[in-house]
Amino acid sequence: MSRTILLAGGGTAGHVFPALAVGRALTEADPDIEVVFVGVADRLEARLVPEAGFELVTIEAVSIPRKPSPRLLRVPGALRAGVRACRQLITERHAVAAVTFGGYVSFPLDRAAFREQLPLVIHEQNSVPGLTNKVAARWSDRIALTFPGSAARFSRSERCVVTGNPVRRDVLELDRASRREQARQQFDLDPDLPTVLVFGGSQGARSINRALVEAHGRWQAREVQFLHAAGSGGYTAATRGWEQARGDHPDAPPVRLVEFIDDMAGAYAAADLVVCRAGATSIAELTVLGLPSVLVPYPHATADHQRENAAALARSGGAVVIDDEDLTGEALVAAIGPLLDDPDRYAAMARGARAFGRPDAAEGVARLVLDLVKEGPSS
């Protein structure tokens, strides 16, 4: 007889991808487990969850505005409706546990699990917990962490377990060395040049885009090439910037500009070094692959959590960190250049990144859940 476990992790890729990885780990660990996702119809999970082969049940949920606005009036009603729908789902599916990954989409299931006394595991991707997880931690039976230092930020630290951040399978199973040549051909890159992958998320990162263009004439004949994903919000400006930069510096390193990269596993295979923000998902993917990085924390992240994410990886030796306010073309060259010039330092950073990674994170979270199913909820 199948047993249903409910998962909620929506809104952003940083929530959806870890949730999908845990969903797969649960079904692989126990073929009698049926995983059902809870989400919102107009968010990323509405596409990614069905594509991954899981059922998605949509509920009403709205985020709390950071500033007073008419949308704030919708929050209480939507919350009650979402909790009511989740309680009904728990009853109808005879659910045996719930797993949530933060964000406002998770809160109705968190609360419903508490009201129904359903075993609950929450996963915190970032070094600084988000508001939803800080509240839900009061009711949860286990709190799965990416960063060891996060435990002190929860009132029930004895329920915290460091699992790492689950990574999507195509990245986790990537053999970079064997796929490198094909991946560079895929992105129209020179197969023999050291390659730096630069991205800032689906919308892009204006400061990273600007600094990379600004650096174009500063590489001093280094053998290097760039794969630059400028993002939908920055692609037009980056296109204009690169046209000007190439005209001013025709002998500078080649750059392949794209708006967005669907095949991130392929991009990682093509890369020797990555420049990006310090989101938890990016850090998890870089570290399971042992890819050195230059991290530029997003300065407006909630509770400045990206700065702490980046600092944790830098302490392990796997990354160099540049604050967004300090990011210039000159600073970018100063960070990347020594890694291209010093194979020993590069190798040490690769080891530091891999030591930080947790390729078994999804299985670790799944074990917490399945153990709770056997035990029942804590008091």
CATH number at residue 299: 3.40.50.2000
CB atoms within 10 A of CB 214: 18
Distances (CA, A) of 50 to 31, 56, 57, 374: 19, 7, 10, 29
- The reply to whether 182 and 292 lie within a common domain is yes
Q: Clarify whether residues 216 and 89 are in a common domain.
A: no
Q: Which of 207, 233, 232, 240 is nearest to 306 (CA)?
A: 207
Which whole-number Å values give the CA distances from 376 to 97, 244, 283, 308, 332, in the listed order? 9, 63, 33, 34, 52
Amino acid in position 308: E
- 329 with 189, same domain? yes
Cβ atoms of residues 244 and 274 within 8 Å: no
Q: How many Cα atoms are found within 13 Å in the side-chain-facing hemisphere of 288?
A: 25
Which residues are registered as beta bridge partners of 197?
227, 274
Q: What is the DSSP letter of 378?
A: -
C-alpha–C-alpha distance, residues 349 and 41, integer Å: 41
* CA 28 – CA 25 distance, rounded (Å): 5
CB 256 within 8 A of CB 188: yes
Residues 110 and 222 reside in one and the same domain? no
Looking at residue 379, what is its pLDDT?
A: 45
Residues 153, 24: one domain?
A: yes
Residue 309: give the domain boundaries: 170-356
Q: Residue 200 in contact with residue 324, Cβ under 8 Å?
A: no
Do residues 306 and 322 touch, judged by C-beta distance below 8 A? no
Distance CA 124, CA 134 (A): 9
**Distance between terminal CA atoms of the chain?**
27
Among 269, 267, 197, residue whose Cα is nearest residue 228? 197
Looking at the structure, tell me whether residues 158 and 284 fall in a common domain. Answer: no
Looking at the fold, whether 129 and 276 belong to one and the same domain comes out as no
Whether residues 19 and 36 share a domain: the answer is yes
**Four-residue CA torsion sign, 91, 92, 93, 99:** negative
pLDDT tens series, the chain, 379 aa: 689 999 998 777 788 999 999 999 999 999 999 999 999 988 889 899 999 999 999 998 766 656 666 666 566 677 888 899 999 999 999 999 999 999 888 999 999 999 999 999 999 999 999 888 999 999 999 999 999 889 999 988 899 999 999 999 999 999 999 999 999 999 999 999 999 999 987 666 899 999 999 999 999 889 999 999 999 889 999 999 999 999 999 999 999 999 999 899 999 999 999 999 999 999 999 999 999 999 999 998 888 999 999 999 999 999 999 999 999 999 999 999 999 999 999 999 999 999 999 999 999 999 999 999 987 555 4
Please report, to the nearest 10 degrees, the dihedral formed by the alpha carbons of residues 238, 243, 249, 254 taken in order.
70
Alpha carbon distances (Å) from 256 to 19, 66, 140: 32, 37, 46
Q: Are residues 188 and 279 in the same domain?
A: yes
If asked whether residues 270 and 342 sit together in one domain, one would say yes
Q: What pLDDT, on a 0 to 100 scale, did the predictor assign at position 73?
A: 59
Do 140 and 197 reside in the same domain of the chain?
no
Q: What does DSSP say about strands 319-321 and 293-295: parallel, antiparallel, or unpaired?
A: parallel
Number of domains in the chain: 2
The burial of 269, by beta-carbon neighbours within 10 Å (0-12 exposed, 13-18 middle, 19 or more buried), is given as buried
Looking up tokens 């989740």 gives 86
**Residue whose C-alpha is closest to residue 270's, from 369, 160, 333, 176:** 176
- Both 146 and 247 in one domain: the answer is no
Name which of 193, 180, 197, 173 is nearest 277 in CA terms: 197
Identify residue 110 by its one-letter amino acid code: D
Measure CA 207 to chain center.
20
